[in-house]
C-alpha cells in the first residue's frame, strides 16, 4: 500500500513526539487542555487545521441522541441533512451532494470530470487530495506555481487545461498559504474557459475569511454557470473533522453527475444528525470564528516579537518563514511533542502552523524558541 508524503511525515512526527515528549506534556493538564485533545498523550496537534474549539454543544448532544440510530442505514438522516443544507443556502435539495468529508466529494468531481484527454489543473502548493485522486485514476495532472501574491495563477491555469476540458481545482482560501484569489478574477476566468471545463472551488476555510472586497463565496453569491462546483466541509469551523461530513453545491445536472460517483450510504447517520445540529447553532460558529481571528492576530504578534515573517492568512492556520531549512525545524518540534506538517513544495523554508487554543499556542512558542534557537529573554 502506498503512503502519501504528507501521511508519512505525520506518522514519523507523531512517533517522535510520543517517544520523547516529557511525561508532564504527555499526561497533560486537565484544567488547561482542550477537551477535544488526545487524552492518552497530550501531543500538541498543529498539523491538520482542526478546530481549536471543537464542536457545538448542540452537535455533541445530537451525537449522543443519534447513537440509537446506529442500527439503521443512514438514508433518512442524509435526506434530512440535504434538505437542511438546501434551506440554509437557499437552493434546492437536488443541488446538494453529500460526501464522507469534502475529500469524497472532490473524489466524485475528479471521477466525473477527469478522463481521457481531460486533465486536472491545480496549483502548487495547495491541498493535494484532488491531484492524488486524479493520479491514482490514471489522470493527467498539471500543477502550476502560485503567483508572487500567493494567489492561483489563473492565466497559466487557463492555458494548461486544453480545449478538451477537464477539471480545475481552486482552493480559496488556499491551503497551505491561507491566501485569497480575488472573486472578480475567478469569475472572469470561468467565463473564458472551454465549455467542457469544470471548476472545483474548495471553500473549506470560508468561515475564517476576514471582510475583504476581493472575496465572496460562490455559494452565498452564485453565478449562473453549471460548470462551477463548490465544496464545503464540517471539519473546520464546525469542529466535526472526526465524523467526516462534507458537501458540494452545484447545478442539478452537475450534482447528478457527481452523485453517480459516490459511495452508497457513505454518509453515516450520526454525522448527518451532528451536522444538522451544527448548522442550527450559529452562536457557537460565530464565537469560534471570532476566537480564531483573535488567535490569528496573537500568532502574528508573537511572530513579530521574534522578527519572524509570515504570510497573511485568512484561515485557521498560518505559514511562517523559519529562516532555515524548514524540515529541520519540523523534526525538532516533533521531538518536543509539537506536530506541524512537513514543508510544502516550493516553500522549503516555511512551516504551516494550525492555530490551537491558548494552551497549545503557549506550548508551541516554547517549543519554537527551543527548536529554532530563538530563546526569548
Output b/e per residue, 328-365; b: 16+ Cβ within 10 A: ebbbbbbbbbbbbbbbbeebeebbbbbbbbebbbebbb
Count of alpha carbons within 13 angstroms of residue 214, beta-carbon side: 10
Average pLDDT (251-271) is 94
Instruction: Give percent of the chain with pLDDT exceeding 70.
Output: 88
Is residue 242 helix, strand or coil? helix
Average pLDDT (361-367) is 96
pLDDT at 204 over 60: yes
Place of cell 494552551: 359
Could you give all domains of the chain from N- to C-terminal order, each with its CATH number?
5-55+282-371 (3.90.1150.10), 57-279 (3.40.640.10)
Could you say which DSSP state residue 70 is in?
Answer: G
From residue 198, how far is each of 5, 35, 43, 119, 254 by CA, in Å? Answer: 28, 41, 41, 11, 9
Place of cell 464565537: 287
The whole-chain average pLDDT of the chain stands at 89
Average pLDDT (310-326) is 96
**DSSP H/E element including 320:** strand 317-321
Question: What is the tens place of the pLDDT at every residue in 53-66?
Answer: 999 999 999 999 99
pLDDT at 1 over 60: no
Give the closest residue to 67 by CA, choosing from 272, 227, 249. 272
Question: What is the tens place of the pLDDT at every residue in 80-117?
Answer: 999 999 999 999 999 999 999 999 999 999 999 998 88
* d(C-alpha 160, C-alpha 118), whole Å: 11
Question: What is the tens place of the pLDDT at every residue in 118-139?
Answer: 899 999 999 999 999 999 999 9
pLDDT at 222 over 80: yes
Question: What is the tens place of the pLDDT at every residue in 7-42?
Answer: 544 444 444 443 333 333 333 322 334 444 443 457
* d(C-alpha 269, C-alpha 274), whole Å: 9
**DSSP H/E element including 144:** strand 141-145
pLDDT at 375 over 60: no
Position 2 scores a pLDDT of 43
Amino acid at each position: 500500500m502506498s503512503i502519501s508524503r504528507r501521511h508519512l511525515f505525520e506518522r514519523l512526527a507523531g512517533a517522535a513526539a510520543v517517544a520523547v515528549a516529557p511525561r508532564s506534556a504527555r499526561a497533560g493538564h486537565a484544567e488547561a487542555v482542550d477537551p477535544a485533545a488526545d487524552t492518552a498523550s497530550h501531543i500538541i496537534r498543529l498539523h491538520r487545521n482542526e478546530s481549536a474549539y471543537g464542536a457545538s454543544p448542540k452537535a455533541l448532544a445530537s451525537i449522543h441522541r443519534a447513537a440509537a440510530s446506529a442500527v439503521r442505514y443512514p438514508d433518512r438522516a442524509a435526506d434530512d441533512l440535504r434538505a437542511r443544507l438546501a434551506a440554509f443556502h437557499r437552493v434546492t435539495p437536488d443541488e446538494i451532494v453529500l460526501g464522507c468529508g469534502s475529500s469524497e466529494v472532490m473524489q466524485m468531481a475528479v471521477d466525473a470530470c477527469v478522463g481521457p484527454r481531460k486533465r486536472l489543473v491545480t496549483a502548487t502548493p495547495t491541498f493535494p487530495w484532488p491531484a492524488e485522486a486524479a493520479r491514482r485514476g490514471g489522470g493527467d495532472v498539471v500543477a502550476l506555481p502560485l503567483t508572487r501574491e500567493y494567489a492561483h495563477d489563473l492565466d497559466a491555469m487557463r492555458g494548461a487545461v486544453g480545449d478538451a476540458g477537464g477539471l480545475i481545482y481552486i482552493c480559496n482560501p488556499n491551503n497551505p498559504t491561507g491566501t485569497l484569489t480575488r472573486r472578480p478574477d475567478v469569475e472572469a476566468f470561468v467565463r473564458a474557459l472551454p465549455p467542457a471545463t469544470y471548476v472545483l472551488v474548495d471553500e473549506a476555510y470560508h468561515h475564517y475569511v476576514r471582510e475583504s472586497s476581493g472575496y465572496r463565496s460562490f455559494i452565498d453569491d452564485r453565478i449562473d454557470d453549471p460548470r462551477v462546483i463548490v465544496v464545503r466541509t464540517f471539519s473546520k469551523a464546525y469542529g466535526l473533522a472526526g465524523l467526516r461530513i462534507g458537501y458540494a453545491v452545484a447545478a442539478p445536472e452537475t450534482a447528478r453527475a457527481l452523485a453517480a460517483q459516490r459511495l452508497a450510504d457513505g454518509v453515516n447517520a450520526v454525522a448527518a444528525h451532528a451536522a444538522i445540529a451544527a448548522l442550527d447553532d450559529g452562536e457557537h460558529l460565530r464565537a469560534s470564528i471570532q476566537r480564531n481571528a483573535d488567535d490569528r492576530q496573537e500568532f502574528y504578534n508573537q511572530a513579530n516579537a521574534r522578527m519572524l515573517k509570515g504570510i497573511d492568512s485568512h484561515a485557521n492556520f498560518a505559514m511562517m518563514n523559519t529562516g532555515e531549512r524548514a524540515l529541520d525545524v519540523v523534526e525538532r518540534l516533533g521531538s518536543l511533542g509539537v506536530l506541524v506538517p512537513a514543508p510544502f513544495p516550493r516553500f522549503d523554508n516555511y512551516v504551516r502552523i494550525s492555530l490551537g487554543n491558548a494552551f497549545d499556542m503557549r506550548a508551541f512558542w516554547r517549543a519554537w524558541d527551543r527548536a529554532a534557537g530563538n530563546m526569548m529573554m
